[in-house]
């Protein structure tokens, strides 16, 4: 472990030195990449330096004990040594956790797609509820949401909605949200008070840069049309909506939320690139089946990950057996952090055990 830590410390110093050179400092893209790499290991480096300082203090205390004869001084040094030993163990455990390889996508912005599944109008309404939950959560985190595409129903729900979340470490927080979200509640349209069960599917994809996934324009078919609202009525008098078909697989991406055809095309390409990058990563993860089993959630969209029980005000995350009796506060975005942090901790523990 020490060899790994020394190598990380050396890398941190190398990156710091590189960022101070004229060559890197004058190139915004190169500087950004160096700064991101430096930030990724900053917490580990800080912890290791504290560990080293504690080790030095412990050795100095033990050296004093070998030479000291004054009883009062011996008692003081022994107390200091005990405190340093007590500090060293949790620092070592923290270092082991920080050394677990991080997901290279953790720093990325994220594209989220929510689609109504079983449950008809009620499922579409729950899509809107989840979108509001994530919107409030991102607002609390200081992130930004940009709607890429939406398909609104007459009752104010969404058959589907896709949006981009930008900010610091977005994917590291959002990646465990992918899967089937089940809701149990009495719909507003239910006259006999019966609880209905509906489901929606959430897909969470890291934004892919062009260098990571290059698209061959010959593989793409572009169509433009007039955007429409609930019931199919036209909401734009120009052909601003864009549909992109990826010919090799038939995958279709549409975007109609912007009034500008150019902006809709750019957003649709961003979603398409994220979907293809996600498929590529899923295939790579499938080939590493052992590692995949150690993860808290595979991101498999057919996996039921969570149940929202409104009559009992209870949220249950089935992957880590977490149950909270504060569904109202979670839906308001206030306590979603508790769920996400528990998932992150469980994933780290699983990875640490495997390592």
**8 Å CB contact between 248 and 216:** no
**pTM surpassing 0.85?**
no
CB-count burial class (<10 Å; 0-12, 13-18, 19+) for 311: exposed
Using CA atoms, how far apart are residues 15 and 20, in angstroms rounded to an integer? 9
CB-count burial class (<10 Å; 0-12, 13-18, 19+) for 278: buried
**8 Å CB contact between 44 and 92:** no
Domains of the chain, residue spans: 2-99, 110-287+299-354
CATH architecture type of domain 110-287+299-354? 2-Layer Sandwich (3.30)
φ/ψ region of 246 (left if φ > 0, alpha if ψ in -120 to 50, else beta) reads beta
Using CA atoms, how far apart are residues 291 and 295, in angstroms rounded to an integer? 7
- Strand duo 322-324 + 314-317: pairing: antiparallel
The 3-state DSSP class for residue 223 equals strand
What backbone torsions phi and psi does residue 257 show, to the nearest 5 degrees? -75, -20
Per-residue pLDDT of the chain (355 residues; tens, 9 = 90+): 888 899 999 999 999 999 999 999 999 889 988 998 898 889 899 999 999 999 999 999 989 888 878 888 889 989 999 999 999 988 988 888 788 777 788 888 999 999 999 888 899 999 999 999 999 999 999 999 999 889 999 888 999 999 999 998 899 999 999 999 999 999 876 767 789 999 999 999 998 876 667 788 889 999 988 776 654 444 555 678 899 999 999 999 999 888 888 899 999 999 998 999 888 887 776 665 544 444 555 445 567 899 999 999 999 999 999 999 999 999 998 899 999 999 998 888 887 776 5
């Amino acid at each position: 472990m020490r060899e790994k830590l020394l190598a990380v410390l050396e890398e941190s110093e190398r990156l710091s030195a590189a960022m101070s050179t004229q060559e890197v400092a004058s190139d915004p893209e190169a500087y950004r990449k160096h700064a991101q790499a430096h930030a990724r290991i900053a917490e580990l480096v800080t912890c290791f330096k504290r560990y080293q300082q504690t080790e030095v203090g412990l050795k100095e205390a033990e050296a004093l004990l070998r030479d000291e004869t004054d009883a009062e001084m011996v008692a003081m040094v022994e107390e200091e040594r005990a405190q340093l030993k007590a500090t060293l163990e949790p620092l070592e455990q923290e270092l082991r956790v920080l050394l677990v390889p991080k997901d290279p996508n953790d720093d990325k912005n994220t594209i989220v797609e929510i689609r109504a599944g079983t449950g008809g109008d009620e499922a579409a309404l729950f899509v809107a509820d989840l979108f509001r939950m994530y919107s409030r959560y991102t607002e609390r985190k200081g992130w930004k949401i940009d709607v890429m595409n939406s398909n609104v129903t007459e009752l104010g729900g969404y058959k589907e909605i896709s949006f981009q979340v930008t900010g610091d470490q977005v994917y590291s927080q959002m990646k465990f949200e992918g899967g089937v979200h089940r809701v149990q509640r009495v719909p507003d349209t239910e006259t006999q008070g019966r609880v209905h069960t509906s489901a929606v599917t959430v897909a969470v994809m890291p934004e892919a840069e062009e260098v990571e996934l290059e698209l061959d324009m010959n593989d793409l078919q572009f169509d433009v049309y007039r955007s429409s609202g609930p019931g199919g009525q036209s909401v734009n008098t120009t052909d601003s909506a864009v549909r992109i078909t990826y010919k090799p697989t038939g995958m279709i991406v549409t975007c109609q939320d912007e009034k500008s055809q150019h902006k809709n095309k750019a957003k649709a390409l961003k979603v398409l690139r994220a979907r293809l990058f996600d498929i590529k990563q899923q295939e790579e993860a499938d080939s590493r089946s052992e590692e995949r089993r150690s993860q808290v959630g595979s991101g498999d969209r057919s996996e039921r990950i969570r149940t929202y029980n409104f009559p009992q005000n209870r949220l249950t995350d089935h992957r880590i057996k977490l149950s909270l009796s504060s569904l109202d506060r979670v839906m308001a975005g206030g306590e979603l952090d508790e769920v996400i942090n528990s998932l992150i901790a469980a994933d780290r523990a699983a990875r640490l055990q495997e390592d």
